[in-house]
A and B are shown apart, each in its own frame.
Chain A
Amino acid sequence: MTTQADISAEIAALAGQPGEQPRKDYPPYRSSVLRHPAQEPVLADPEGVELWAPAFGHRDVDDAEANLTNRHPGEPIGERMVVTGRVLDGQGRPVAHQLVEIWQANAAGRYWHQRDQHPAPLDPNFTGAGRCLTAADGTYRFLTIKPGPYPWRNHGNAWRPAHIHFSLFGTDFTQRLVTQMYFPGDPLFDLDPIYQSITDPQARNALLAAYDHEVTAPEYSTGYRWDIVLTGSHRTPFEPGEAP
C-alpha cells in the first residue's frame, strides 16, 4: 500500500511551482489521475450569459440557514464558532447579495453522508450544511461548529486537515468558485495532497482563515475571519441594470 512517506515524496517533488490555482493533474491525489483534462483549456472571451452571474435572493435563502447549530432540538457537540469575512471580486469590489453555501464534517470529523464510513460518531444535533447571502459590503457570516480532521483512502493512514467546503458565486459566471477553508497551524497541511495541489505557498495561504477575537462572542463562541477574493475574467463588469 502507498504510504504517507511515498505521498510526501511525491508532494515534495512537485512543490513550489508557481500558479494561482491547484494543478488539476496532480498524481499525489490519486482520484485526479483519470479525472483531469490532458489538454490545455481554450481561451475564450466571455459572451452572453457568461458576462452575468445567476441571481439569488431571499426567496432562495432564509436568514436562519446561516446558523448550523440550531437545526435540531439539542446543541451540537464541539467548538462553537463564527466564520465570517467578505467576498470580493478580483478588483477588491464587494460581491453583494450573492449566494454562499458551505458543508462540513462534525466535531468528530464525520459527515452526515451515507458514503462517509469513518467510524466516528454522527452528532444527532449537527447536519453540517448552511447557506447565506452576502450583505451589500460582501460580508457573509455563519455560526457553526469547528469540524474535525478525518481519514480518507487516498493512501495508507491518510488524513485531511480540518476544513469547511465553500461554494461561491461572483458578479459574473467566470468567477464561480468551489474551495475549502482551512484553520491556521493545522499539523496535517504538509501531508495533504489536496491542499498541496496548490503548489505556490502564497496561493495556498489564501485558503487560511485567521482567528479573530473581534468576531468571538463572550461566553458563547470563538471566531474566525476569512476574506475570499474571486478571480475570473479581468473585464470591468457592467453596472446593475445594464442587462441586454
Chain B
Amino acid sequence: MIPAPGQTVGPFFHLGLPYAGGNELVPPADPAAIRLGGRVLDGDGHGVPDALIEIWQAGPDGKVVREPGSLRRDGWTFTGWGRTATEADGSYWFSTYAPGGPVPFFAVTVFARGLLDRLFTRAYLPDPDPADPFLAALPPARRATLICAPQPRGLHFDIRLQGDDETVFLAYR
C-alpha cells in the first residue's frame, strides 16, 4: 500500500480548518492560563499571513489528554489540542496551560500556502533539561530555535521556515 503524500493547504484553508475558539485551549481569563504566541516567518524574515498552526500537548500534570471536544469547547474540558490561522503579520497565539511531565514541550504542526507538506517541530518550555538526549544532540544555535522565550504570563515561540535561524523541523523515526 502506497501512503498518501501531503499537499499544501493552499490559500483557502480558512474555509475548512480554523474555527471559533480553536486557539483557546483554556479560557484566557483562567488564572492559570498562559499565552503561547509568536510569528511564522519566511526566508526573507517576512510574516507568513496564510499559515495554520496546531499544537498538541500534555496537561499541567504531564498526562496525555484523551478528551474529545476541541472543535466545540465547553470552557471546562482541557483537550490538549488547538488550531489557529496566522494574522496578516504572521502572528499567532494560543491560550493554554504549560505542559508538565518529564519532557515538557508543545508538539507543533505547521501548514501554509507555499509549503507543500506539513512540518513538525517542538516548542520546549524555557530552561529544558540539559541532559535531554534529543536537545543535547543539536548544535546550540539550532537547539535555541526549539526553546520558548519566557514572557509575562506566557511564552514566545517564533517559527522560521527558512534562513539563518531556521527552526529545527522533525522527521519521526
Write the residues of chain A forming the contact surface with B, with a CB cutoff of 8 angstroms. Answer: 20-24, 26, 29, 31-39, 41-52, 54-61, 88, 90, 92, 99, 101-103, 105, 111-113, 115-116, 127-131, 165, 167, 173-174, 176-180, 194-195, 197-198, 202-207, 228-234, 243-244
User: Complex Cα distance A54/B71, Å?
Assistant: 11
Q: Is the CB of B15 within 8 A of A129?
A: yes
Known: A24-B116, A178-B118, A233-B172. 11 other contacts (CB 8 A): A20-B2, A21-B117, A24-B115, A29-B114, A34-B46, A35-B112, A35-B115, A46-B172, A48-B64, A57-B69, A165-B10
Of the A-B pairs whose beta carbons lie under 8 Å apart in the complex, a sample of 16, sorted by A's number, is: A21-B6, A22-B5, A33-B43, A37-B167, A42-B168, A44-B170, A45-B172, A48-B105, A55-B67, A101-B17, A128-B16, A167-B17, A178-B6, A229-B1, A230-B3, A243-B63
Q: Is A59 a contact of B5 with CB atoms below 8 Å?
A: no
Report whether B5 and A207 are in contact in the complex, using a CB–CB cutoff of 8 Å.
Answer: yes
Chain B nearest CB, measured from A148 CB (Å)? 14
When the two chains form the complex, which single residue of B5, B105, B161 contacts A206, counting CB atoms closer than 8 Å?
B5
B44: which of A34, A49, A60, A233 is its contact (CB, 8 Å)? A34
The answer to whether A194 and B116 have CB atoms under 8 Å apart is yes
Q: How far is the CA of A115 from the CA of B2 in the complex (A)?
A: 34
Q: Contacts A55-B68, A112-B15: A34 and B162 contacting too (C-beta < 8 A)?
A: yes
The CA-CA distance from A187 to B72 in the complex, in Å, is 41
Report how far A181 CA is from B159 CA in the complex, Å.
28
What's the least CB distance linking A167 to chain B, in Å? 6
Contact of B138 among A42, A57, A90 (CB under 8 A): A42
Query: B2-13 toward A: CB 8 Å interface, digit per residue (1/0)?
Result: 111111111111
A194, B69: Cα distance in complex, Å: 34
